[in-house]
């Protein structure tokens, strides 16, 4: 990756080849070879006049001012990583990542829109993955179209590692293992999923981090991203999450599923440097862990 710097709405790069002034068709291929960007994206930039050559520099208009599609709503967002291309926030419990209906308020999308507006950033809100409404933890956003294209591709290619921690009921026979069971919709409950032979492939790796008398603190990693995957798979093993009444867990100690997206590991879409971020456990989860350990 060649060196670059941001200048307002433009990304500035050195232009080592004289053929880039004036910009010729072949320069697009050369530029595409220097940067991890799809060729179609460059062709569109060129057709829109968003590639300019000035002396020994080439400028790409990749930070245009954008208007967020979501109404900003004041919220004290927990930002755990940010640069010109990426944003990672620690999502609280009880908040949907994205609205499920027109006009829905109280979503993470609206909180991120407010954060962008309040910090003077004219960015669209582009989430790369989701968490269930009552699951806490790290959520990754792309701050411009370029980053969105590349991070979406990385997500599809399973190059973004997501690690979770959970409190699951019971004593695990195996201290670690892999659950490779297909997941599909439950015919009897529209909002529920189940293990079924006709479902989509779903793979979850787990490791018991701390086994207690009546529950286990478990670390989990996903190879796939099916709806409710961890919740369904652990329930299938006979170890539903504490608080997850939809999948057989008890709500006696906790009012929601005890699941937290603790870590994200991904290559930065532009620099290709590895980024690792950790989301702090929410206070209610920490208190639950202490309470369960004392049982």
| Catalytic residue list contains 134 | no
DSSP string across the chain: ----EEETTEEEEE---GGGSS--HHHHHHHHHHTT--HHHHHHHHHTT-EEEETTEEEE--------SS--------EEEE-SSEEEEEEPTT--SS-SSTT--S-HHHHHHHHHHHTT-----EESS---TT-EEEEEEESSHHHHHHHHHHHHTT-SEEEEEEEEES--SSSEEEEE--EEEETTEEEEEEE-TTSB--EEEEEEEEE-SSEEEEEEEESS--TTHHHHHHHHTT-PBTT-GGGT---SS-SS--EEEEEEEEE-TTT--EEEEE-PPPHHHHHHHHHHHT-
Tell me what pLDDT residue 52 has.
Answer: 82
Specify the pLDDT at position 34.
66
Domain end: 37, 60, 83, which one? 60
Look at the chain and report how many structural domains it folds into.
2
Q: Is residue 198 part of a domain?
A: yes
End residue of a domain, out of 44, 60, 76 = 60
Residue 246 is assigned to a structural domain of this protein: yes
Catalytic residue of the set 78, 132, 152, 186: 132
Structural domain includes residue 136: no
Question: Is 127 a member of any domain?
Answer: no
**Residue 180 counted as domain residue:** yes
CATH number at residue 197: 3.30.2350.10
pLDDT beneath 50, residues of the chain: 18-19
Residue 21, domain member (yes or no): yes
- State residue 19's pLDDT score: 47
Q: Is residue 279 part of a domain?
A: no
With respect to residue 270, please indicate whether it lies within any of the assigned structural domains. Answer: no
Domain boundary among 38, 60, 82: 60
Determine the structural domain holding residue 15 and report its residue range: 5-60
Confidence (pLDDT) at 182: 99
């Amino acid at each position: 990756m060649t060196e670059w710097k941001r200048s307002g709405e433009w990304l500035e790069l050195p232009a080592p080849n004289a053929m880039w002034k004036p910009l010729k068709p072949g320069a697009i291929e050369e530029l595409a070879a220097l940067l991890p960007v799809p060729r179609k994206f460059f062709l569109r930039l060129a057709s829109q006049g968003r590639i300019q050559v000035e002396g020994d520099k080439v400028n790409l208009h990749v930070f245009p001012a954008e208007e967020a599609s979501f109404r900003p709503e004041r919220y004290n967002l927990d930002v755990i990583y940010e640069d010109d291309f990426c944003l990672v926030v620690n999502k609280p419990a009880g908040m949907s990542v994205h609205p499920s209906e027109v006009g829905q308020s109280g979503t993470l999308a609206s909180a991120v829109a407010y954060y962008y507006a309040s910090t003077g950033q004219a960015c669209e809100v582009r989430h790369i993955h989701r968490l269930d409404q009552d699951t806490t933890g790290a959520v990754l956003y792309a701050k411009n179209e370029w980053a969105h294209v590349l991070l979406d591709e990385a997500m599809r290619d399973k190059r973004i590692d997501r690690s979770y921690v959970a409190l699951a009921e019971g004593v695990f026979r195996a201290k670690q293992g892999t659950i490779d069971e297909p997941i599909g919709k439950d015919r009897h409950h529209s909002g529920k999923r189940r293990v079924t032979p006709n479902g989509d492939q779903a793979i979850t790796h787990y490791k018991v981090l701390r086994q207690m008398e009546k529950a286990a603190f478990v670390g989990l990693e996903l190879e796939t991203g099916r709806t409710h995957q961890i919740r369904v798979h652990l329930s299938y093993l006979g170890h539903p999450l504490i608080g997850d009444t939809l999948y057989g867990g008890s709500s006696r100690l906790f009012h929601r599923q005890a699941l937290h997206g603790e870590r994200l590991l991904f290559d930065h879409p532009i620099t290709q440097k590895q980024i690792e971020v950790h989301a702090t456990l929410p206070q209610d989860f920490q208190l639950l862990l202490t309470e369960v350990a004392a049982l």
